[in-house]
Structure 1
Amino acid sequence: MFGPDSQFHRFFNDPRWALAIVRATVLEAAHPQIGAALTDNSSFVVHPWRRLRNTLVSLQRMFGPDEHVRQREAARLNRLHARLKGTDAGNQPYDAMDPEVRAWVVATLFESSVTMCRLSGQPLDQVTMERLYAEFQAYLAALEGRAGYLPPTLAEFWQYFDRVVAEELQNTEALRIILFKLFDRLPAPPLFAGLPTVWATGRAVAGPVIGSITVASLPEALRRRAGLPEVPGAQTLMQGAYMAARLARALPDNWIQTENFVNLLQLSPDGDNPSAEVLSDLRSRMKRAGALIRLLTPVPPQQDGADRLENRRSARAFFSEVLDQTGDGYLEWPDLAAMARELCSRLDLDEPAETRLYDAFAAWWRELQAALDSDGDGRVSEEEYVAAAPSLAGPALIKVATVLFDATDADGDQFIDAQEYRHLFRRGFGRSVADAGSRYSRSAFVRDFLSFMSGRQRSAPYDSLLSEA
């Protein structure tokens, strides 16, 4: 069911898979419980590229050949989902560990995989479809311990899928954000950081197209139920997009491998990746193209990369770029939980190290509430933060720094070596660290972390850790 011979493994590097993932995400977001969990807890609006990378890494682990890796990843996902529960704006409960909800997530991945083949003119035969369904059942069983919340047969699955679409899916806020906000405001990945004109111009064209393609591919019952607009020509555009993605499979393997594509988007010009020099040259050419675009189009002027990478940033900029991880304009526990989640994912922590880091962030949140929440509404607004920003660096934040150091210092020698540093920051040592003997001491790490998290000092490594899209 897993490994390189699985049907899913063949799909993973298929260019059509990108369209299928977007479609599946919309179907998930239309479920009331999932939509509420995404709206309240997810950082996908502000950090979509980070979320994409983490999702793909997780799928690779779950469908890989190593049973130990799969069990470890399943345990990590279960711990992550166990923390996502609460009530929505209508006071209805949601719980990411609800087995029926988790079954729906897997169902959307399977159904969207089948649909991508059908829409691209290569429908799956019955045997292949049943094998693929068995693989997704095995995926759910690896998470739940059993796959009983998905129907046992493929024929029953289609009845189940149609019933959920017709009776349970809704026009949720998360669905509207994905379709009508995310694509229009999609932040630039690191590859395009500092090239706002180029990115904004491309996004202005591609955003509405992706949204129209996605809406046209959704089940008609959901389109009617959610009141999604019918765009003239969208069906033809959708068919053309899926056919083009199918033809793209003829490109060289290293061009279309999902991992290579995601790594390319994550490249940073100030990193030490071997491709950084080529990237810098490419970016300089793109900047010249951006200058030409500014002359020809009325795109509002924006700061370029050099302006935005100045050592100090305003309190308002730090609030929006770093602290407000969910992008709702307020600092709340889900924002700090999103930071903890990203750090735990990067370091691939097990229990109890993961719990210690979450607990440290929770203590910091309580400290922030006590210091900054002047109106007592349980959250910190941008104005409240700006008015009392110096209160940010208290004892609880120091505790976060020390716990993060201990989690990164895998060998426990009280220094972060080059390999441990790359594990956390996905880049080599900076000059200041290398000058200190190629080791990062506890005191230096805590000092740099506090300086960044209090908004006093910019830092390329920490920016890439917590503020990159």
Structure 2
Amino acid sequence: MFGPGSQFHRFFNDPRWALAVVRATVLEAAHPQIGAALVDNSSFVVHPWRRLRNTLVSLQRMFGADEDVRRREAARLNRLHTRFSGTDAKNRPYDAMDPEVRAWVVATLFESSVTMCRLSGQPLDQTAMERLYAEFRAFLAALGDQAGHLPPTVPEFWQYYDRMVAEELQNTEALRIILYRLFEHLPAPPLFAGLPTLWATGRALAGPVIGTITVASLPEVFRRRAGLPEVPGAQTLMQSAYLAARMARALPDNWLQTENVISLLSLSPDGDGPWAETLTTLRARTKQAGALIRLITPVPAQQGPADHSGASENRRGARAFFTEVLDQTGDGYLDWPDLAAMARELCSRLDLDEPQETRLYDAFAAWWRELQAALDSDGDGRVSAEEYAAAAPSLAGPALIRVAEVLFEATDANGDQFIDAEEYRTLFRRGFGRSVLDAEGRHSRSAFVRDFLSFMSGRERSTPYDPLLSDA
């Protein structure tokens, strides 16, 4: 069921699967419970590339050949999903551990994989389809859910799927965000950081196309119920996209390996990994292209008089830090889901076990209570950008110091009270910067805590810590 010989493993490195995953994500978001959990807790709008990378790594672990790795990842996913529960805007409860909800997530991945084959002109035969379905049911079982939440046979699955599409799925806020906001306002991945003009130009062309292709691939009965627009020529465009993805399978194997995609999503302008030299060359060439685009792009007129006072500069810096780092969910406010997203990302990077993971979450929860008490001036239970900017210089309290200490202890895997090069790379996904090293080439506890406090309190905007929570 798992490992290199599985049907899923073959699809995992198939370029068509990128379209299938986007489609499956939209179908998941159309489920009321999943859509509510995404809107309330997920950082996918502000940090979609980070979310994609973490999802791919998780799927690699779950469908790999190592049973111990799969068991550990399943436990991590269950702990993560346990934290996603609440009520939506209509006061309806949602719970990411609901077995019916989890079954629907797996169902969308299976159905979208089957659909990608059909739309690209290579439909799966019955044997391959049944094998793939058995693998996805085994995946659900590996998470600890009873197999009965997905029908036992493929024919019964299609009855279940048709019923869900016709009766359960809705035009949720999360679905609208993905289709009409995320695709058209997708932030640049780390690879294209610093090239806003070039990225914006490509996104303006590709974003609407991806949205149109995705909508056209959804079940017709759902498109009608949800009131999704029928764009002329969309079906032809969709089929062309799937056929092009099928033809891309002829590219060299090393271009198609998902492992390489994950590496690209982890690259940064100041990285020192094996791809660093290639990235430097690529960025130099794309900067030239970006300069050419800027020459032919009108510069928008500034609105209002410029204010060069020091207070204004500090306020703009605080607002930028609020948007880029603190507001992880992108709703314009700082509240517990934002800090939970930070804790979730750091736990994922460090692959923490339950005790350390809980300690880090608890430290972030204490920091949120401290922030709320200090900054929530209107008592609405959240912190606005204005409230943050007004008090930004005074944020490094005891709770934030505790966050820094717990994070240091989690990163210091060997317990020698220093962060060495390997531990640093695990947390930051890049090598040491010269400014953080001591005389012995290590990062001390006091230096880590000091630098983390300076970063998280917004005192310094250009530090090695910037990519820790601000990468898209």
TM range (shorter): over 0.9
- Residue in 1 aligned with 2:400? 397
- Residue in 1 aligned with 2:359? 356
- Residue in 1 aligned with 2:309? none
Residues 21-77 of structure 1, C-alpha deviation per residue, up to 9 Å, x if partnerless?
000000000000000000000000000000000000000000000000000000000
- Residue in 2 aligned with 1:424? 427
5+ residue gaps, structure 2: 303-312
Task: Give the one of 326, 330, 343 matched to 2:329.
Answer: 326
> Residue 46 of structure 1 contacts residue 325 of structure 1 at CA under 8 Å; is this kept in 2?
yes
> Residue 319 of structure 2 contacts residue 389 of structure 2 at CA under 8 Å; is this kept in 1?
yes
Percent of aligned pairs with the same residue? 85
Aligned equivalents of 1:37, 1:223: Cα separation in 2: 22
User: Shift in Å at residue 435 of structure 1?
Assistant: 4.4
**DSSP 3-state at the match of 1:148:** helix
> Residue 312 of structure 1 contacts residue 456 of structure 1 at CA under 8 Å; is this kept in 2?
no
User: Shift in Å at residue 268 of structure 1?
Assistant: 1.4
1:440 equivalent to 2:449? Answer no
- Residue in 2 aligned with 1:306? none
- Residue in 1 aligned with 2:161? 161
Residues 117-162 of structure 1, C-alpha deviation per residue, up to 9 Å, x if partnerless?
0000000000000000000000000112422100111111000000
Residues 200-221 of structure 1, C-alpha deviation per residue, up to 9 Å, x if partnerless?
0000000000000000000011
Aligned equivalents of 1:301, 1:79: Cα separation in 2: 49
Q: Flag the 1:268–1:460 CA change in 2: closer, same or farther, 3 A.
A: farther
Amino acid at match of 1:405: F
1:95 equivalent to 2:95? Answer yes
Task: Give the one of 402, 411, 432 matched to 1:408.
Answer: 411
User: Shift in Å at residue 261 of structure 1?
Assistant: 2.0
Kindly report which structure 2 residues correspond to 1:253-272, keeping only aligned pairs within 5 A, or say none.
253-272=253-272
Amino acid at match of 1:260: N
Residues 298-318 of structure 1, C-alpha deviation per residue, up to 9 Å, x if partnerless?
47599xxxxxxx999710000
**DSSP 3-state at the match of 2:148:** coil
Task: Give the one of 375, 384, 388 matched to 1:381.
Answer: 384
User: Shift in Å at residue 286 of structure 1?
Assistant: 1.0
User: Shift in Å at residue 176 of structure 1?
Assistant: 0.1
Aligned equivalents of 1:301, 1:420: Cα separation in 2: 47
User: Shift in Å at residue 464 of structure 1?
Assistant: 1.4
- Residue in 2 aligned with 1:307? none
- Residue in 1 aligned with 2:213? 213
User: Shift in Å at residue 376 of structure 1?
Assistant: 0.5
> Residue 45 of structure 1 contacts residue 327 of structure 1 at CA under 8 Å; is this kept in 2?
yes
Task: Give the one of 344, 366, 370 matched to 1:367.
Answer: 370
When the two structures are aligned, how many residues end up with a matched partner?
Answer: 462
Deviates more, 1:316-325 or 1:387-396: 387-396
- Residue in 2 aligned with 1:452? 455
Aligned equivalents of 2:141, 2:209: Cα separation in 1: 36
- Residue in 2 aligned with 1:244? 244
> Residue 312 of structure 1 contacts residue 457 of structure 1 at CA under 8 Å; is this kept in 2?
no
Aligned equivalents of 1:127, 1:257: Cα separation in 2: 26
Amino acid at match of 2:132: L
Aligned equivalents of 1:458, 1:428: Cα separation in 2: 19
- Residue in 2 aligned with 1:336? 339
> Residue 197 of structure 1 contacts residue 299 of structure 1 at CA under 8 Å; is this kept in 2?
no
When the two chains are superposed, the root-mean-square deviation of aligned CA atoms in Å is 1.6
Q: Flag the 1:123–1:458 CA change in 2: closer, same or farther, 3 A.
A: same
**DSSP 3-state at the match of 1:94:** strand
Aligned equivalents of 1:181, 1:376: Cα separation in 2: 30
- Residue in 1 aligned with 2:78? 78
> Residue 377 of structure 2 contacts residue 387 of structure 2 at CA under 8 Å; is this kept in 1?
yes
User: Shift in Å at residue 465 of structure 1?
Assistant: 1.2
User: Shift in Å at residue 434 of structure 1?
Assistant: 3.2
Deviates more, 1:379-388 or 1:264-273: 264-273
Kindly report which structure 2 residues correspond to 1:456-467, keeping only aligned pairs within 5 A, or say none.
456-467=459-470
User: Shift in Å at residue 344 of structure 1?
Assistant: 0.2
**DSSP 3-state at the match of 2:427:** helix
**DSSP 3-state at the match of 2:149:** coil
Amino acid at match of 1:458: R
TM-score (norm 2): 0.96
> Residue 313 of structure 1 contacts residue 458 of structure 1 at CA under 8 Å; is this kept in 2?
no
Residues 276-312 of structure 1, C-alpha deviation per residue, up to 9 Å, x if partnerless?
222222212111111111223347599xxxxxxx999
Aligned equivalents of 2:425, 2:265: Cα separation in 1: 18
Amino acid at match of 1:138: A
- Residue in 1 aligned with 2:284? 284
User: Shift in Å at residue 432 of structure 1?
Assistant: 2.0
Aligned equivalents of 2:215, 2:403: Cα separation in 1: 42
User: Shift in Å at residue 271 of structure 1?
Assistant: 1.1
> Residue 41 of structure 2 contacts residue 338 of structure 2 at CA under 8 Å; is this kept in 1?
yes
**DSSP 3-state at the match of 2:150:** coil
> Residue 36 of structure 1 contacts residue 88 of structure 1 at CA under 8 Å; is this kept in 2?
yes
**DSSP 3-state at the match of 2:86:** strand
**DSSP 3-state at the match of 1:123:** coil
> Residue 313 of structure 1 contacts residue 456 of structure 1 at CA under 8 Å; is this kept in 2?
no
5+ residue gaps, structure 1: 303-309
User: Shift in Å at residue 437 of structure 1?
Assistant: 1.3
Aligned equivalents of 1:14, 1:246: Cα separation in 2: 8
Q: Flag the 1:240–1:299 CA change in 2: closer, same or farther, 3 A.
A: farther
> Residue 33 of structure 1 contacts residue 101 of structure 1 at CA under 8 Å; is this kept in 2?
yes
User: Shift in Å at residue 459 of structure 1?
Assistant: 4.4
> Residue 393 of structure 2 contacts residue 459 of structure 2 at CA under 8 Å; is this kept in 1?
no
Aligned equivalents of 2:294, 2:436: Cα separation in 1: 39
TM-score (norm 1): 0.96
Kindly report which structure 2 residues correspond to 1:223-234, keeping only aligned pairs within 5 A, or say none.
223-234=223-234
